[in-house]
Amino acid sequence: MRLFIAVNFNEQVKRDIKNIVERVKRYAKQGRFVNEEHMHLTLEFLGEITEERVKDILSAMKLVNAAPFTLALSDLGYFKRREGNIYWFGITENKDLMVMQREVHKLLKERGFNLEEREYRPHITIGRKVKLTNTFNSDELKESIGKIQIRVNSIDLVKSERINGKLIYTTIFSKAL
């Protein structure tokens, strides 16, 4: 099963993000934008994991020692790709988030998981293979993006699967902070 550990958002945050995504979409010549039910902040992507290894993930998550905190969105950015860019919202620098993510990473590595070693760059993906018109101006969105606050009270183990061609995310464990 395909798994990742994430911060999921409440319905209000998802609506607020969706409202800004709709404004970006108006300028899209192409691209696939993320649906509300798929909006999250990935802490650690695990990939294909056997059923037997899930208990190791749960044991790591249960040891995460973090208090609830609040995140703020910072800006709209993208990873450049030839077929169209990956657009995302950045997260304002947050020590609590970075410490928690490093702890999750360390606990999983101690249990033998093969994880990406590049520096963690927190972002919320909003669109893939996106090409925007030349008239798009991200500065018009800065104020709206900056108002979004995300209260982090838990981290979730999420299963990603395709069912009848539809991408479904299912939270299979939640660790309260």
Cα–Cα distance measured from residue 95 to residue 117, given in angstroms and rounded to the nearest whole number = 19
- The mean per-residue pLDDT over the stretch 103-118 comes to 96
Question: For position 104, what pLDDT does the model report?
Answer: 98
Question: For position 6, what pLDDT does the model report?
Answer: 98
Question: For position 150, what pLDDT does the model report?
Answer: 97
CA separation, residue 101 to residues 62, 97, 137 (Å): 14, 6, 32
Contact assessment for residue 114 and residue 45, using Cβ atoms and an 8 Å cutoff: no
| Burial (Cβ within 10 Å: 0-12, 13-18, ≥19) of residue 8 | buried
Range of the domain at 62: 2-176
| Burial (Cβ within 10 Å: 0-12, 13-18, ≥19) of residue 12 | exposed
Sheet with 40-48: strands ordered across: 40-48, 2-8, 154-163, 166-176
Catalytic (active site) residue 105: no
| Band of pLDDT at residue 42, cut at 50, 70 and 90 | very high
Nearest to 172 by CA among 31, 35, 55, 19: 55
pLDDT in tens, 6-41: 999 999 999 999 999 999 999 999 999 999 999 999
pLDDT in tens, 120-170: 999 999 999 999 999 999 989 999 999 999 999 999 999 999 999 999 999
Backbone angles phi, psi at 26, to 5 degrees: -60, -25
Q: What is the CATH number of the domain that holds 28?
A: 3.90.1140.10
Nearest to 24 by CA among 104, 130, 120: 130
The reported pTM is 0.93
Cα–Cα distance measured from residue 174 to residue 177, given in angstroms and rounded to the nearest whole number = 10
> How is residue 12 written in tokens?
């209000």
Selected catalytic residue, list 16, 40, 124, 148: 40
pLDDT in tens, 72-108: 999 999 999 999 999 999 999 999 999 999 999 999 9
| Band of pLDDT at residue 112, cut at 50, 70 and 90 | very high
Selected catalytic residue, list 31, 39, 71, 123: 123
> How is residue 158 written in tokens?
């999420």
Question: For position 116, what pLDDT does the model report?
Answer: 92
Question: For position 114, what pLDDT does the model report?
Answer: 93
Share of the chain above pLDDT 90, in %: 98
Q: To the nearest whole number, what is the mean pLDDT of the chain?
A: 96
Nearest to 53 by CA among 124, 103, 2: 2
Count of domains in the chain? 1
